[in-house]
Amino acid sequence: MNQIATLPLRQFLERSDAWGREEGREVYPKLLEALERTPGAVLYRIDLTGVARLDASFPRESFVALAKRYAGEKAFSISGAANMDLLENVDAAAHKLGMAMVVWDEQGTWSLIGPPPSAGLKPVFDIAMTEGEVTTAMLIKAPYELGAANNVSNKLKQLTEAGYLVRREDSSVSGGKEYRYLAPR
């Protein structure tokens, strides 16, 4: 089972706002240590509850850098943003590092900040976000029918390498390997 771990950013801060590269670099190892305490997790949610303000350099040096480091191995999403200013600054950081991140609102609706997937990869990513977990076999059958298995498999691999999804290896019914692709929840 894929455990989802929440990392409440406010618990790593001395106050409700966070500024600059230096402070971001001080928080990064604290986040890394918290991540290492959850070895079974592959999905992480950065909770911004209680964080009043961030500049763009703080998230770039802390949690967006962490997401970039683990792209393809672990997926990160964001929740609890108090206002759009926070998200605009995280978006700027995500664009600077080339690392997209999913943002969840209070209604359970997701949006994407940072660079979007290409037009060819977007339908596959959207389905993965809707389903939470997909396989190549699932996406080549109805109702999706996204094309040949090798084409769909390549798209899933590209999404994983770019950090949009996480890939996990399982045994298939036929006895071979089957990859499951998990969306950031």
Q: Could you tell me the pLDDT band of residue 185, with boundaries at 50, 70 and 90?
A: confident
Read off the pLDDT of residues 135-180 as tens digits, 9 standing for 90 and up. 999 999 988 888 899 999 999 999 999 999 999 988 767 777 889 9
| C-alpha atoms less than 13 angstroms from C-alpha of 176 in its C-beta half-sphere | 3
- Give pLDDT tens digits for 25-65: 999 999 999 999 998 899 999 999 999 999 999 999 999 99
Q: Which residues pair with 50 in a beta bridge?
A: none
CA–CA dist 178, 135 (Å, integer): 8
Q: How far apart are CA 91 and CA 129, in angstroms?
A: 19
Identify the structural domains of the chain with CATH numbers, from first to last. Answer: 3-113 (3.30.750), 122-182 (1.10.10.10)
